[in-house]
Amino acid sequence: MTNRPDSGVADENVEAQRTRLYTADQVQRLGLLKRLVDRGHPIGQLAHLATDELRSLGGGEHAIPMIEAARPA
């Protein structure tokens, strides 16, 4: 497995078969980014923000909740 340089949105791991593997934190961050972009925020203003900052942009009753990663039983 090799690490690719930071893209600014999510760092991904790439296997020899060129399959991208994302951590639960990266998937959560990408979901937050999508929701905020869908609400009209420009991606260029979001990509550099920390996950907690992205979450806080949801604000008030429309806050974006933290997603608990599924854990194996």
How many Å apart are CA 46 and CA 55, to the nearest integer? 11
How many Å apart are CA 42 and CA 48, to the nearest integer? 12
Could you tell me if 29 and 10 are in contact, meaning their C-beta atoms sit under 8 angstroms apart? yes
pLDDT band at 26 (very low <50, low <70, confident <90, very high): very high
Number of domains comprising the chain: 1
Does residue 35 fall inside a structural domain? yes
Does residue 73 fall inside a structural domain? yes
| 33-72: pLDDT as tens digits | 988 888 898 999 999 999 889 889 874 345 555 545 455 5
Residue with tokens 């979901």: 31
Determine the structural domain holding residue 37 and report its residue range: 23-73
For the record, the structure tokens of 64 come out as 């974006």
For the record, the structure tokens of 61 come out as 């009753």
Does residue 16 fall inside a structural domain? no
pTM: 0.59
Could you tell me if 51 and 29 are in contact, meaning their C-beta atoms sit under 8 angstroms apart? yes
Does residue 42 fall inside a structural domain? yes
